[in-house]
Every structure is written in C-alpha cells, then in structure tokens.
Structure 1
Amino acid sequence: MARNATSPGLVTQRLHLIAAFLLTAGHCAFATPCQFEAQGEGRVAGIVDARSVRLDDGREIRLTGIEATASTKEALTSLLVGRDVTLRSTDDTPDRYGRQGALLFIGDSDTSVQAMLLAQGDALVSAEITDKACATALMSSEAEARRQKKGTWADPSAIKNAESPDDILAGIGRFMVVEGKVLSVRQAGAMSYLNFGRSWTRGFAATISKRTLSAFESAGMTLKSLENRRIRIRGWVEGTTGPRIDVRLLGQVELLGANEPIGVRP
C-alpha cells in the first residue's frame, strides 16, 4: 500500500499559517485595554480644570473614566501641558458644554493619562466606562495606588465608613468612595434602597431606580443577594438628614471580600 506523502512546500506553508494564527491569538489575548478608536490628535495648550484640557486648536477635551481629587489639576499640568496626545473613545460627540470626552494617550504610549493619574493616587475611578476590560484596568490602577497608599489614599479617611453617616454627609456634593455592610434591601415605589444603617432616615444608603435595576439583573445579580455583603459604593453624595449615593451605573458597586484591595464588579 502506498503511503501518503506531504511535500516540504506544503509543510512549510502550514507552519507559516500556524505561526500567524498563534501571533494573532496572542495579540488578541494580551491586547492593551482602553485602545478605543482614535478620535483625533492635538497638543495640550493648557488645563481648563481638574478634568478638562484645551488643545492648541481650541478644542476642549474632558477626561473620561475618572473623578478629580485635590491633586488632579496639578498632576495634569505636570503630565500634559505642551505634550502631543491622541484621543481615544467609542464616540466623539461633544457634551452639552461642547467638550469632547476621551481617554488621552501621550505620544505613542499604550497607557492612558487616566491610568497614570489613578496609579499615582491623583484621581478616582468613575463608573462611566462600560467596556469591561478597560474598566477593569482602570480599577486595577486605582487599587494599586490604594494598596501603596499613594496620593489621596495616603489619607486614612479617603474611603468613608458606611457606619459613620455624619462623615459622609459632611461631603455632600462631592464624589466619594464608601465601604460597608448592607444591612437590608428595601423597595419603595420605583426606588430600591441598600441600607447600611439601622435608621432608614439617618443612616447611609445607596439608591437604585427601577430603570437601573435591569443592569443588575442582566449581570445575574439580585439586590436582595447583597444583604449582609460588604460592598464598595462610589458616587456623588446627596441627602439632607441621611447621606445617599444614587447608583446609576453598574460599575459604581463592587463586592468585597475580607481583604480585597479591588472588588468584584457585578
């Protein structure tokens, strides 16, 4: 019986195909997060505020994915003034103030300016970026700064204790990070409440509207399952007698273990 033979040329061709596949697969597996579509380039002419810069062509750019701390504006000035940047985002539509939202990258860097600020402890993660890989990368940068007590995290009170509602209420109108144990979950009309205190009127609570609830359900999580769990909430503090944070985005909530520097987002 004659044996099937494979020509050396065909073997080489197959090896080249396999190598190309492995290179492509490796690139996909280790792709740098937050590399959204480029939405333009420019040189930073000045810093407008702690979250906005102005390019030399007059465009105003708002840094997405972060909230400012006391040191953000100074850090931005040091990092960006006079530097060439690339803007990356999923959408270049300006906001109502005419600002274009984007992640900024200096020169050919694969690391966003936002990630740099977070790693230095000069910013806090907001929850507006919904791309899972990018959001996770930003949270990891923040967690590393928190672990090393850099920047804002050098202050022990940077994370508020949900059992101290007066401390949280003192920061009304500010973006805060709060940790604590959910004692109960209640619903009143179209609003659900994650209660961290036994007093519903004075204790800290996170509010979740019915329209936001679907995001938790899509992630396979019921609010009731959060009872007796330690969680981290981030957002803008509001309220009168008792402090509240309104949860509008899934990423504002992290599930915590006993010693986790970074929580698990639903």
Structure 2
Amino acid sequence: MAAATTTTRRRRRCVAMIRYVAIMVVALPSIGGTARAACVGLPEQGDGVVAAVDDGRHVRLQDGREIRLAGIEIESSRQAEATAALASLARARRVGLRGAEDVPDRYGRQPAFVVVDDDATSLQARLLGAGEAMVGLGIADSDCRAELLAAEATARMAQRGLWADPTALKNAGNPGDIMARVGRFTVIEGRILSVRETGGTIYLNFGRRWTRDFAVTISRRILGSFEAAGISPKSLENKRIRVRGWVERRSGPQIRIREVGQIEMPGAR
C-alpha cells in the first residue's frame, strides 16, 4: 500500500509538472517570432530614438523625453547588470512606446511599454526573461501582466540573472531575512497560516508571532477589486502564495497590497 501511494504521488507530481511546463511554453512571449505579444499590442504612444540609458529601467530619447519602462522593478544590487542589458538592447535604436496612458509621472518621466523597431517582444519582457528585472505593479492589462509574469517565471526556473541567487525568492517563514529588505521591492513565497481582520485592515499572517513574523495587509477599501477578481482573502488561509511589493517595517516585516496582481497562487498555474 505504501509503495502504491508513493508511486501515485510521483505520477501526480509528474503530471502537474508537465501541465505547468506546457502552460508556460504557451504563455511565453514570442521572442524573435512574428506574433505580437500582449504588451506590444497596447495603444501606441509615439516613438523616438534612444539617446541614453540612465539605468535599468529609464531611457532618454533624442527629443528630450524621459521614458520609464512600466511594469518592472530592478534589484538594486544588480543595477549595473540591468543597465548594461538595457543599453545593449536599446541604445541608439528607434523604439515604439505602448500603453493605455501617456501621462508623465511626478518626475516628468513617461511610463510606457517599449519595443525596439517592430519587435514582437517588449524590452520589459526581454529584461525579465534574462533575469534582470522583476514584474512590478501598475500593469492594468491582465494579458500583458500574465505575459510578463511568464517571462519572469522562465528566468527564475532557469536561474538566470538575479534568480541565480537561491535566496532571491524570499521565504515567508524567514522574517529576519525579509526584514533586511525593508524599503526594497521583493518577491516572497510561503503558506498563509491565518487570516485576521482588525479595524479596516485584513492581515494574511505567515506565522504565529504577529510582532515578528511576516504578514501581508489588505485594506478593506480595495476589497472590491478582489471580489471582481473572484478572490476572497479569507479563502487564502492555508494556501501557498507568492506576493510582491515593497517591504515595510511595522511590528514585523509586511507588504501592503495596493492591487490584486501583487498576489499569485503558484499552484494555480
């Protein structure tokens, strides 16, 4: 009986892995192909020639516009590598800008998904696929977000770039390691031990010591977006999730949820 159970479990794991790989292959951006990827298919915001690459996600065009690559974050310890990767892809090249809005941010930089010439893949997807960036926030188009998450996942599975460090994906059960990331954009994975509500805040707790362990907080003001996505925070109890955002220090390390897309359920892929 024990041997049969072990064999069954192995078969289930193999089937799950085969399904996961199949989904990832379908979801991957068409690098070098002719199909237009979701982010590249967003409304056009104009074009220009890249005069300079300021860092891993900012370029300046010859006409003076400053462009911020939307939807990604760069690991500060790998800024030089990300800058070099972006420069090799974009410097002195004509680029097209894509996005639902072209309103500059408070620093005067235009956020956009950027494509070189008529490439089928955005620069964001290329940087993510090389492991030189993490998927960030503010990606309104769900297909575009899924495309970028797939590129990031491919790099993580292949241990490329920042993901070559086995500790790059933080363990929610190690609050001390997470606390060292305060003020930095971080991707964390773990199982939610409990879901509690206090006042207008819902807490997804990854440990029993609320003064020390990692937690994710959700304001009741954004519960409507969770309901629209068919997700109930309470239903996440005992689920393994992946969460991304800026680590804050409260009683212990926390990430505040600003949008539903910050939470992924790896087992759902």
Q: TM-score range by the shorter chain?
A: 0.7 to 0.9
What is the CA-CA distance between 1:201 and the residue it aligns to? 1.2
What is the CA-CA distance between 1:31 and the residue it aligns to? 5.6
Aligned to 2:203: 193
Aligned to 2:153: 143
Q: What secondary structure does 2:59 align onto? A: strand
Q: Deviations over 1:77-125 (max 9, x none)?
A: 2211111100000011111111111000001101000000000001000
What is the CA-CA distance between 1:76 and the residue it aligns to? 1.2
Conservation of the 8 A alpha-carbon contact between 2:36 and 2:121: no
CA distance in 2, matches of 1:201, 1:33: 42
Q: Does 1:234 align with 2:244?
A: yes
Aligned to 1:59: 65
> 2:38 aligned to 33, 53, 59, which one?
33
Amino-acid identity (%)? 53
Aligned to 2:117: 107
1:107 maps to a residue whose letter is D
| Higher Cα Rg, which structure | 1
CA distance in 2, matches of 1:250, 1:214: 10
2:158 maps to a residue whose letter is Q
Aligned to 2:135: 125
What is the CA-CA distance between 1:32 and the residue it aligns to? 2.9
What is the CA-CA distance between 1:223 and the residue it aligns to? 0.7
Conservation of the 8 A alpha-carbon contact between 2:57 and 2:68: yes
CA distance in 2, matches of 1:108, 1:32: 11
Q: Where does the alignment leave 5 or more consecutive residues of structure 2 unmatched?
A: 1-34
Conservation of the 8 A alpha-carbon contact between 1:127 and 1:250: no
Q: What secondary structure does 2:37 align onto? A: coil
> 2:173 aligned to 160, 163, 171, which one?
163
1:127 maps to a residue whose letter is L
Aligned to 1:78: 88
What is the CA-CA distance between 1:188 and the residue it aligns to? 1.0
Give TM-score scaled by structure 1 length.
0.84
CA distance in 1, matches of 2:264, 2:140: 14
What is the CA-CA distance between 1:241 and the residue it aligns to? 4.2
Aligned to 1:18: none
What is the CA-CA distance between 1:61 and the residue it aligns to? 0.4
Conservation of the 8 A alpha-carbon contact between 1:235 and 1:246: yes
CA distance in 2, matches of 1:222, 1:138: 24
1:125 maps to a residue whose letter is V
What is the CA-CA distance between 1:189 and the residue it aligns to? 0.9
Q: Deviations over 1:129-181 (max 9, x none)?
A: 12111111111111111111111111000100000000000011100000000
Q: What secondary structure does 1:225 align onto? A: helix
Aligned to 1:214: 224
Give TM-score scaled by structure 2 length.
0.83
Task: Name the structure, 1 or 2, with higher relative contact order (CA <8 Å, separation 6+).
Answer: 2
What is the root-mean-square deviation of aligned Cα atoms in Å?
1.3
CA distance in 2, matches of 1:55, 1:238: 35
CA distance in 2, matches of 1:200, 1:32: 43
1:233 maps to a residue whose letter is V
CA distance in 2, matches of 1:108, 1:129: 22
Conservation of the 8 A alpha-carbon contact between 2:36 and 2:120: no
Conservation of the 8 A alpha-carbon contact between 1:130 and 1:251: no
Q: What secondary structure does 1:166 align onto? A: helix
CA distance in 2, matches of 1:155, 1:32: 29
Name which of structure 1's ranges 216-225 and 153-162 shifts more when overlaid on structure 2. 216-225
What is the CA-CA distance between 1:57 and the residue it aligns to? 0.7
Q: What secondary structure does 1:158 align onto? A: coil
Change (3 A) 1:256 1:32: closer
Structure 1 runs (4+) greater than 3 angstroms displaced: none
Q: Deviations over 1:23-62 (max 9, x none)?
A: xxxxxxx763111111011111112233211101110001
Question: Number of matched residues?
Answer: 230
Aligned to 2:184: 174
